[in-house]
Amino acid sequence: MTNDGVGLPVRLHDLLLSMAGRVDDDALSQAREFLAVGELDRAVEMLVGTLLAGSIPVLPDERAAITWALHEVRSDASLTDRLPVVELLPFVRHRFTAESDPVADLAGVLNRAVSVLPDVRSVRCVWRSSPAGSTPGPLPQRVVLVDIGPQGFAPATSYRVDAVLRKAGIRASVEVLTVGTQLSEYHASAVTASRPVPISGAPMAPPPPPPPPPAAVAHDHLSHEQPTWFDQSEDVSAPAPVAEPTPAPEPVVEETGSRRLRTPSLEGSQPFPPKPVKRISMAPAEPEIEALPEPMPINRAEVTTELKPDELAALQAALAETPEPSSVDANLSERERALLQQLHEELAQREQTGAKATDTGRWQIDRSSARQSAFGTSNNGHLPQ
């Protein structure tokens, strides 16, 4: 068997689908469960064992497919040598019915399960009143038919729906069909007699259209007697042009005394007249010349470099000495005299500031010196013994 791009689980699902109606329903459900959980070898061996145990005949193509599947799952392919092979399968007519409403208790159970499965198109249900397989179960047997699209996965969908039904206590045989594939005689008969299950999210079959009323039937009968547009000759005259309706005249304005009834036309009118705008000739503006800020007066006392304490003490000692004769002052320039005068002013200002800051300390020192002079300089004011 050549590989046409179809996976092994899908091939096995199609093989189990072809055995529906010939193999027991419970055996098919068990094999589909093995297939869904990934135990492909057990699924194939379950099918071969059921066929051998029930002496169920198969076609040559079916035996070749089973042999190929046994090779793929690394199982013993010689088991198919004991399968009964026939050229034509015995005809078994299965009976399906939907009289006792097989979908009554399925909508609430399958609604949540189907909503999470991919590409489920529709769900249908029917009763089967004929046995299937060598050891059939109780009858009638409920058959659930699930249609999926190309995006769905048949083995997982079959196992999921079957597990939900068994958990709810509903015994059914789940058959998952892919849209677009050819149906067997068994599945075609089941689909024909089945009823749709109302599932949210799955497209439902459209209801049949209601019968037309009698008036519509009479109109259709008359329309059939008249020639249709495609039966008429090509030289049909064009329809006459339809005259456009004349616009209604505007209401006449009537004047009654001082009160006048008017119907003004609002087309092209403005609510308020535009305000007149005075045009002012703009002369070219001359560039403004920014005025320079006036120079601030310089305080020479602030600009003078601050002297250090040792320099200040040396300068005070120099000033305390006797001035030199006037011949030295005569040799000084005007600039040097100004600097000397500025220095005298700054020293006087510093002396006044220092005297205010150290006035309290000097008073304490003078007081202590006065106390020493009054009581003596030793033994804290006591005379020596």
Strands 195-196 and 254-256: unpaired
Owner of token pair 């699209």: 149
338 — pLDDT class (breaks 50, 70, 90): confident
What single letter denotes the amino acid at residue 211? P
What's the pLDDT score for residue 97?
A: 93
Within 8 A by CB and 6+ apart from 195, the residues are 98, 101, 102, 103, 124, 125, 126
Task: Give whole-number Cα distances, 339 to 176, 302, 342, in Å.
Answer: 117, 14, 5
Backbone angles phi, psi at 249, to 5 degrees: -65, 155
Percent residues over pLDDT 90 in the chain: 39
What single letter denotes the amino acid at residue 214? P
Give me the sign of the Cα torsion angle 177, 179, 185, 187.
positive
Range name among 85-99, 102-116, 198-212, 360-374 with the lowest pLDDT average: 360-374
What is the per-residue pLDDT across 283-320, written as a single tens digit (0 to 9) for each?
Answer: 555 656 666 666 665 555 554 456 677 877 777 777 76
Range name among 69-73, 170-174, 220-224 with the lowest pLDDT average: 220-224
Segments of 63-165 assigned E as strands: 96-97, 120-128, 141-148
Chain mean position to CA 49: 51
pLDDT beyond 60 at 272: no
Q: Round to whole Å and give the CA distance between 187 and 18.
A: 9
What is the per-residue pLDDT across 7-25, written as a single tens digit (0 to 9) for each?
Answer: 899 999 999 999 999 999 9
Q: How large is the average pLDDT for residues 349-372? A: 57
What secondary structure letter does DSSP report for 81? G
Owner of token pair 């699930």: 146
The answer to whether the bond into 138 is cis (omega within 30° of 0) is no
